[in-house]
């Protein structure tokens, strides 16, 4: 949002409550509503292209959760026998699905937060009270996309090398003295007459997995080394610029406006109603020992309405700005 200025502290409070709600609510109606509205918000914020990368992260984790939870947790009244003596439960499957959806919502909330609040604004919020912690958080958030981009770059270079494209080195005169690592490893492998190694090499699938693991390890090693080198340069740069020598100042300055006070009032009112509903069990279901959820029990009440109203302000502001811009 460019035209409507909201204090970054208000954003921090709002998104923090959203993360809490993502873990608290277990009623499928509330969870699905939450997921739909956060997807709408992300689409309006113009970061829907990031969903592809988010799903690459989410799908393996969700599959892992939905597989491991029924296998490790056999609590539940409704059993599904896979083979003699071994079973899983409907309750464990349902809990795994709800955990996966909660994880997806949290990832989407953080993506939306990164779009709404810049690193400089985060540093402004925490720098006066927690200067060291705020700097660590900001630098960590900065290095996450940096490491990702460098890993992609290293992978592209590795693909070029595997396709037979030789990259120029800085000093070609040293090429004769260098050891070809691939030839060295192949010589070791041919000299090593272990039956286990020969058996693994004969299996193409296992050989492909081993090759992929080696490639991944090489990429991760180069990326981590590159990032550590970058962190050393960053530390020297901060020291040269006098970081932590005197009390920290900020070129940013924020004051609470009427829009901020209205936003805070809306948060307080809706959250108070939602908490009252949670104390009555609204928005949550019992999964163990037996699921007590029924699709016919529609949550059309004041607590569900307050939950929707709580999620709508940023969507409203994004739509308002689109109208003003166009």
Q: Where are the domains of the chain?
A: 8-127+262-325, 141-166+179-240
Let me know: does 115 contact 15? Beta carbons within 8 Å.
no
Total number of residues shown for the chain: 326
Instruction: Label residue 178 by pLDDT band (50, 70, 90).
Output: very low
CA distance 100 to 92: 12
How confident is the model at residue 64, as a pLDDT?
Answer: 85
| Residue 233 pLDDT | 78
Phi, psi of 82 (to 5 degrees): -85, -45
Closest of 313, 284, 296, 315 to residue 98, by C-alpha: 284
Q: Which two tokens stand for residue 188?
A: 């070791």
Query: Is the pTM of the predicted complex or chain greater than 0.85?
Result: no
CB 267 within 8 A of CB 310: yes
Q: Please, are residues 293 and 285 in contact by the beta-carbon 8 Å criterion? A: yes
Low-confidence winner among 169-183, 215-229, 242-256, 306-320 (lowest mean pLDDT): 169-183
Is the pLDDT assigned to residue 170 strictly greater than 60? no
pLDDT at position 156, please?
Answer: 78
Contacts of 298 (CB under 8 A, 6+ apart): 29
- Which is more confidently placed, 294 or 105? 105
pLDDT band per the 50, 70, 90 thresholds, residue 303: very high
Task: Report which of residues 102 and 200 the model is more confident about.
Answer: 102
For the chain, helix, strand, coil in percent to 5 are: 70, 5, 25
Distance CA 28, CA 249 (A): 46
Distance CA 29, CA 25 (A): 9
CB 77 within 8 Å of CB 290 = yes
169: phi then psi, degrees, rounded to nearest 5: -100, 165
Span 192-243, pLDDT tens digits: 445 555 555 556 666 677 777 777 777 777 777 777 777 777 778 777 777 6
């Amino acid at each position: 949002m460019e035209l409507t200025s909201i204090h970054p502290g208000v954003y921090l409070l709002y998104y923090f409550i959203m993360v809490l709600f993502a873990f608290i609510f277990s009623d499928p109606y509330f969870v699905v509503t939450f997921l739909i509205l956060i997807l709408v918000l992300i689409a309006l914020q113009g970061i829907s292209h990031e969903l592809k990368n988010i799903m690459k992260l989410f799908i393996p984790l969700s599959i892992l959760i939905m597989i491991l939870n029924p296998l490790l947790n056999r609590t539940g009244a409704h059993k599904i026998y896979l083979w003699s003596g071994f079973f899983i439960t409907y309750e464990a499957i349902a809990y795994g699905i709800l955990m996966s959806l909660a994880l997806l919502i949290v990832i989407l909330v953080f993506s939306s937060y990164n779009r709404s609040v810049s690193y400089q604004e985060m540093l402004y919020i925490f720098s006066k009270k927690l200067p060291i912690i705020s700097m660590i958080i900001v630098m960590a958030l900065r290095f996450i996309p940096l490491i990702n981009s460098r890993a992609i770059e290293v992978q592209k270079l590795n693909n070029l090398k595997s396709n037979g494209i030789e990259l120029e080195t800085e000093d070609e005169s040293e090429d004769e003295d260098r050891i070809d690592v691939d030839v060295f490893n192949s010589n070791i492998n041919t000299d090593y007459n272990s039956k286990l190694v020969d058996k693994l090499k004969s299996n193409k699938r296992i050989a492909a997995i081993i090759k992929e693991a080696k490639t991944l390890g090489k990429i991760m090693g180069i990326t981590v080394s590159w990032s550590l080198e970058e962190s050393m340069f960053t530390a020297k740069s901060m020291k040269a610029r006098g970081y932590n020598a005197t009390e920290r100042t900020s070129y940013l300055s924020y004051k609470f406006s009427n829009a901020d006070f209205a936003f805070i009032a809306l948060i307080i009112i809706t959250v108070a109603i939602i908490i009252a509903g949670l104390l009555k069990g609204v928005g949550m279901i019992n999964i163990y020992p037996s699921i007590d959820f029924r699709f016919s029990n529609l949550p059309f009440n004041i607590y569900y309405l307050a939950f929707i109203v709580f999620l709508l302000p940023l969507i409203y502001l994004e739509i308002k700005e689109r109208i003003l811009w166009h």
